[in-house]
Structure formats: structure tokens, C-alpha cells
């Protein structure tokens, strides 16, 4: 495996698609991904995978069944396996996040949805 390094904010300039995570690195079977989010996603959970989110731009709302966490740039959250969550943003704001999750993680979890992407896109 090669050494990979990057200026994270510059990587965000390399793609426009929303809700479609792009891979920037891999380590120990986990992948580092970047995603641009805007609007509503879908309630889902991951059966076997914990998921790390770190916000780089904008405000991310992470809705759980009992509460909503509000995350600004520089904030992180870990959603444990099995916990239903529903990320969303303000209607008119694009939010940039870094994700850390196993290479096997499908971003909509067990939910098949029009937003589900199976392909592994590297930037």
C-alpha cells in the first residue's frame, strides 16, 4: 500500500454529486470518504458497522429516534452499529463531511433507496 496524503478541502473540489461518498484513503479495512450532503436523506442503520462523521462545512443535523444532534464544522460524531439515524441539512445549504467506516459499508445501511450507491468511487 502506498502512502496517501491530501489537503482535504481541495479534495472536496473534485466532485459535485451529493449523497455519493468519494473515497480518499483506506486503512485497516476502513475507508476515509468525503461526501456533500444537501436536504433530506433516509432513515437507516448499519447492522455491523460503526460510522464516524466529521463536518468540514455547514451544519449537519443527525436525527436519532430520541433526539437530534447539531454538528458544525470541526465537530464529529460516531454512530454505533444498529442505531437508526437520519442525517439532513438545511434546505438551501450544502454540507461537507468526512466519513470513516469499514470498506464494506453501504451508506444507506439495509435500506435500498434511490440514494443508494454501491460503487466504490475514488478521488
84 binds a second copy, rule: CB under 8 A? no
3-state secondary structure of 116: coil
3-state secondary structure of 9: helix
Task: Give the x-and-dash track for 21-60 against a second copy (CB under 8 A).
Answer: ---xxxxx-x-x----------------xxxx-x------
d(CA 54, CA 58): 11
Binding site for a second copy (CB under 8 A): 1-9, 24-28, 30, 32, 49-52, 54, 62, 64, 69, 71-72, 74-81, 83, 100-102
Amino acid at each position: 500500500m502506498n502512502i496517501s496524503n491530501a489537503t482535504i478541502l481541495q479534495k472536496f473540489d473534485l466532485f459535485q454529486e451529493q449523497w455519493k461518498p468519494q473515497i480518499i484513503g483506506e486503512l485497516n479495512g476502513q475507508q476515509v470518504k468525503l461526501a456533500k450532503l444537501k436536504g433530506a436523506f433516509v432513515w437507516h442503520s448499519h447492522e455491523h458497522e460503526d460510522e464516524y462523521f466529521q463536518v468540514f462545512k455547514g451544519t449537519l443535523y443527525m436525527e436519532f429516534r430520541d433526539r437530534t444532534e447539531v454538528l458544525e464544522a470541526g465537530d464529529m460524531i460516531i454512530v454505533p452499529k444498529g442505531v437508526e439515524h437520519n442525517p439532513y441539512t438545511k434546505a438551501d445549504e450544502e454540507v461537507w463531511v468526512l466519513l470513516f467506516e469499514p470498506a464494506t459499508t453501504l451508506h444507506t445501511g439495509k435500506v435500498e433507496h434511490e440514494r443508494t450507491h454501491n460503487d466504490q468511487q475514488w478521488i
